Amino acid sequence: MVPIAIKIDPADNVAIIANDGGLQAGTEVLGSVVLKDFIPQGHKVTLLDIEAGEGVVRYGEVIGQAIESLSAGSWLHDRHIRIPEAPALEDLPLATREAKNRPALEGYTFEGYRNADGSVGTRNVLGIMTSVQCVTGVADHVVRKVKSELLQKYPNVDDVIAITHSYGCGVAIQAPNAAIPIRTLMNLAKNPNLGGEVLVVGLGCEKLQPGRLVPKGSDVEANVVCLQDIHEDGFEGMIARIMEMVETRLARLDKRSRETCPVSDLVIGVQCGGSDAFSGITANPVVGFATDMIVRSGGTVLFSEVTEVRDAVHLLTPRAVNVEVAKTLLEEMSWYDNYLEEGNSDRTANPTPGNKLGGLSNIVEKALGSIIKSGTSPISDVLGHGEQVKKKGLVFAATPASDFVCGTQQLASGIALQVFTTGRGTPYGLAMAPVVKVSSRTALSKRWFDLIDLDAGRIATGEADIETVGEELFRMILDIASGRIQTAADKLGLANDLVVFNPAPIT
Amino acid sequence: MVPIAIKIDPADNVAIIANDGGLQAGTEVLGSVVLKDFIPQGHKVTLLDIEAGEGVVRYGEVIGQAIESLSAGSWLHDRHIRIPEAPALEDLPLATREAKNRPALEGYTFEGYRNADGSVGTRNVLGIMTSVQCVTGVADHVVRKVKSELLQKYPNVDDVIAITHSYGCGVAIQAPNAAIPIRTLMNLAKNPNLGGEVLVVGLGCEKLQPGRLVPKGSDVEANVVCLQDIHEDGFEGMIARIMEMVETRLARLDKRSRETCPVSDLVIGVQCGGSDAFSGITANPVVGFATDMIVRSGGTVLFSEVTEVRDAVHLLTPRAVNVEVAKTLLEEMSWYDNYLEEGNSDRTANPTPGNKLGGLSNIVEKALGSIIKSGTSPISDVLGHGEQVKKKGLVFAATPASDFVCGTQQLASGIALQVFTTGRGTPYGLAMAPVVKVSSRTALSKRWFDLIDLDAGRIATGEADIETVGEELFRMILDIASGRIQTAADKLGLANDLVVFNPAPIT
């Protein structure tokens, strides 16, 4: 076993121990540094003597100040490092970096389902939208019934899903922040994988009146069933009415077929969860490379997670396509700063215990690794929480960093597929769109061989490079988008619940 | 059809039209009042001339001031009435009402499952608790597998359920208000219907470390499976480990049997949802009567819903068993006032469109009807959000009024059964405990004959009185608690998701 420590930027005074199981004291790394302590995998070794108060540098950025002096070869633990202030949101460089004119990529395509509104799905799914949690039991009943009695009659339909959530009633629907959950739900109903079909099950007395979830231009009467308006045959009457609407829609969806679409029709989301110190070295750079390939092909990639971007926002504002986009990005940061402060919290609420075990000292280090998913393209637009995508290219979609909330909001924004990187491992999946899971470490992808789609850990050991694995991911995305291969989560039928972000009060 | 208008208190200057379909202009009600307008069912008729600015009185309480003058026989619509200030929380009478020494009820029993901690369940259910949303797909997979392969081998086990939720990670777990979701989850794991068995499925890297959900005194190692700690056989390895733990617990649960327990061992919750103007005349008084019978038998009834108690709190503080309990009640009101204000909202966020259609003009009228569920017993204790019940008798458990959040929190507080009144109708149900649904109107219980358990609407038409239907409900509660009869929601397999109240920020 060759001892491996990874230094990313020439300015770094720490490196990451890459070997599975860590390295013992006395081991020499990077040709000159001898470890003074045992250092676990993913954790940091000091490459130089660092004085108390001196900056600890990773990714070429200061991730904190040393609390005590440490000589070269020491295990730099998160207790040794003080978190710096977050970058001030004033006086940042806005849209200053010339977009690199890398040549457009031509000729890449996928087989998608083209919708009437111009969007393209990677799946052909019937969604049964609910306006309120109260009707969840009925929607779940219908889904079970359709799956056991009906779906096999429509072989071109991939799935039927209930779009259930905790919003809809018992909420302060006029509160300013209620706009977020409402637009998230309105836009979830329009996800490209749902084929433009609408079926809303409502109760009738709820705050969020079900007609609001029917997209503009669609007939409310024809697409909504309110349980309180069913006057015949009790429960069976409700089910009969919904099944009738389901069958009409299944018949229409079944007539659809995939067609060859340019990558410019593809909208995907990228996210990380259960990150570790390798996420920023292996999995996220691989995603960044694939992101660049999609953007160069004219496609659209959403990156997100405000609290995991906040501490690296000074590296993003220069990449905005214009000053207005950069300012909108800063407004989203500022909104979240205030939101956390009003809840008597701050950015140090992130990272998690698992992130720390995985070697991430604080949110600064996590954020620097996180934004690498965005690649190097210019940021063409910024979306508020739950807003629908409007522009092509690389788009920042503001979401919480919580995996399942980010996933829900990216679906609302219109992604047809998601790429998810993980260091610690998660069985995360979405019912509405395929999720490609990329592991940051080979040990994880070996152990969870049937839960991980792609191993980026090979990069840490030098077995592969970012370009090779990045292009592998790009081709995998197109294969999955085309229905040629299934993701691990889809093979196993694993899906998380939708979790809608509601920063307004409940009543 | 005899025209019926219901006046509740001698001081009332409005009455409620009871007839299905409403009453036409020209109809005479209460012997002297001739309707000037068509008035829909549940809506208010003025019994006297009311001047602009004069108080509109229902339940003997001012529910608002008339905005314009209305002559007797007019339809008093919610646009005619201005909401008064909420009762100030200072200077209220505290614990001033002598508890009526009504004789204790002896001899009522039910057949329950007695647990080691002294609590008694009405069901024998295996709960698979999750520490974080990330593992939901795995927990759901296990439940499907157990139901199809295993459950039939254990005929004494009623059900296996996944206790899934949106909390656990991506949250500001150190924020002061995070105490609420954390204790809600800790206490959900201890619900009496789960037989004292613990099985927590965690991921490993999450903020809410899974060991925290194992009740004190139980072995953490033996009761928790962390997916990130499974090193063999990938997904199948995880499932095998969980199934092994499931089987041990099913074998133990299967050995249990019901035993005769006094009603003093019973803990139930009462709640209303989709209320209308009849809720306070029919269904809620029926529940109040049954509540009194349970309390007089030494049992425990939780009533809840802060925003639907707030405007009638002056009628509750005198009933507190002592000044300390009254003050705790006021603290819960004050906490919620602040919570709404911080979210730029207030108490007028309730009621809902359906409540208004059903004749409820504002939250004052709704609250006056809502608290009737609490009957007339002294209030023996007040619980904070998600706290476990500590005392017997009538207990106020602070919860949001949202049906599914209130249900979740009452389960955490330890109810083994819930009674739910509804005017507009809802298919609401809980997987963890039976829910008895009582309708406020006969029309609803006829239309939804297989979704409603008991029709309290007979009271509005004079076909039955509160005492008769109240005792009928009491006996039904004991039958359902004993497993002798099933609720409508259980027969149909309808259950809502658990929705945990998290007033702290997410990250």
Chain segment A368-421, per-residue pLDDT in tens? 999 999 999 999 999 999 999 999 999 999 999 999 999 999 999 999 999 999
For the segment A461-489, the average pLDDT, to the nearest whole number, is: 97
The CA–CA distances, whole Å, from A327 to A89, A144, A312, A333, A385 equal 9, 47, 15, 10, 16
CA atoms within 13 A on the CB side of A454: 31
- From chain A, pick out residues whose CB is under 8 angstroms from the CB of B353: 205-207, 209
Closest-CA distance, A170 to chain B, in angstroms, reads 4
Instruction: Give me Rg for the CA atoms of chain B.
Output: 24
Number of Cβ within a 10 Å radius of residue B133:
24
pTM to 2 decimal places: 0.97
In the block, tokens 């295990």 appear at: A75
Eight-class DSSP state of A169: S
What residues of B are in contact with residue A234 (Cβ under 8 Å)?
A: 447-451
Instruction: Judge: A354–B401 Cβ closer than 8 Å, yes or no.
Output: no
**Contact between B17 and B41 (Cβ < 8 Å):** yes
Q: Select the residue from B161, B205, B432 to test the A interface by mutation, using most A Cβ atoms within 10 A.
A: B205
Whether A345 and B174 lie within 8 Å, measured CB to CB: yes
CA–CA separation, B315 and B97 (whole Å) = 10
Measured between beta carbons, which residues in chain B are less than 8 angstroms from residue A141? 492-494
CA-nearest residue to A340 within chain B is: B505
Neighbours of A106 (CB within 10 A): 10
Check B141 against A492: CB less than 8 A apart: yes
CB contact under 8 A, B235 and A450: yes
Closest CB to B497: pick one of A136, A404, A507: A136
Least confident window among A92-106, A304-318, B404-418? A92-106
CB A380 within 8 A of CB A395: yes
Dmax (CA) of chain A: 82
Chain B residues in contact with A451 (beta carbon < 8 A): 234-235
Residues recorded for chain B: 507
Instruction: Give the 3-state secondary structure of residue B78.
Output: helix
pLDDT of residue B98: 81
The string of pLDDT tens digits covering residues A56-94 is 999 999 999 999 999 999 999 989 999 999 999 999 999
Contact B205 A354 (CB under 8 A): yes
Q: Using an 8 Å Cβ cutoff, are B290 and B419 in contact? A: yes
**B169 contact residues in A (CB cutoff 8 A):** 352, 402-403
Q: Do B141 and A340 touch (CB under 8 A)?
A: no
**Helix, strand, coil % in chain A, rounded to nearest 5:** 35, 20, 45
- Give the minimum alpha-carbon distance from B347 to chain A in angstroms, rounded to a whole number: 8
The 10 Å CB-count burial string (b at 16+, else e) for A288-310 is bbbbbbbbbbbbbbbbbbbbbbb
d(CA A393, CA A389): 10
Prediction ipTM score: 0.95
**B-chain residues within 8 Å CB-CB of A507?**
307, 340, 345, 349-350, 400-402
* Residues B453, B457: Cα–Cα separation, whole Å: 12
Token pair of A344 as six digits:
């008597």
**Would residue B386 be called left, alpha or beta, if left means φ above 0 and alpha means ψ between -120 and 50 degrees?**
left
Do A37 and A22 contact (CB within 8 A), yes or no?
no
Query: Chain B contacts of A164, Cβ < 8 Å?
Result: 497
Q: Residue B172: name the closest of B182, B183, B162 by CA.
A: B182
Q: Do A235 and B427 touch (CB under 8 A)?
A: yes
**Model pLDDT for residues A176-186, shown as the tens digit of each residue:** 999 999 999 99
Residue-wise pLDDT tens digits, B221-275: 999 999 999 989 999 999 999 999 999 999 999 999 999 999 999 999 999 999 9
pLDDT of B101: 65
Task: From chain A, pick out residues whose CB is under 8 angstroms from the CB of B439.
Answer: none
In terms of Cβ atoms closer than 10 Å to its own Cβ (0-12, 13-18, 19+), residue B104 is exposed
| Interface probe with B: pick from A165, A446, A506, most Cβ of B within 10 Å | A506
End-to-end alpha-carbon separation of chain A, Å? 59
**Which class would CATH give B118-254?**
alpha beta
Hey, which bits of B357-489 come out as E strands?
Answer: 379-383, 393-397, 417-422, 435-439, 454-455
Residue A101: predicted pLDDT: 65
Q: Which residues of chain B have pLDDT under 50?
A: none
Element (H, E) at A478: helix A466-481
- CA-CA distances (angstroms) from residue B21 to A123, A277, B14, B36, B211? 47, 67, 19, 16, 56
- Cβ–Cβ below 8 Å for A400 and B170: yes
Instruction: Name the residue among B177, B354, B451 with its Cβ closest to that of A206.
Output: B354
pLDDT reported for residue B77 = 92
Find chain B residues with C-beta within 8 A of A432's C-beta.
none
CATH 2.40.30.10 describes domain B5-82: no
Answer yes or no: is pLDDT of A7 > 90.
yes
| Residue A304 Cα, gap to closest chain B Cα (Å) | 12
Q: What is the pLDDT of residues B334-347, one digit of tens each?
A: 999 999 999 999 99
Taking an 8 Å cut-off on Cβ atoms, the answer to whether B424 and A501 are in contact is: no
pLDDT value for A102: 80
Residue of B nearest to A443 (CA): B231
A241 contact residues in B (CB cutoff 8 A) = none
Name the residue among B303, B296, B275 with its Cα closest to residue B428: B275
Interface with chain B: mutation pick from A205, A306, A492, highest number of B CBs within 10 Å: A205
Report helix, strand or coil for A15: strand
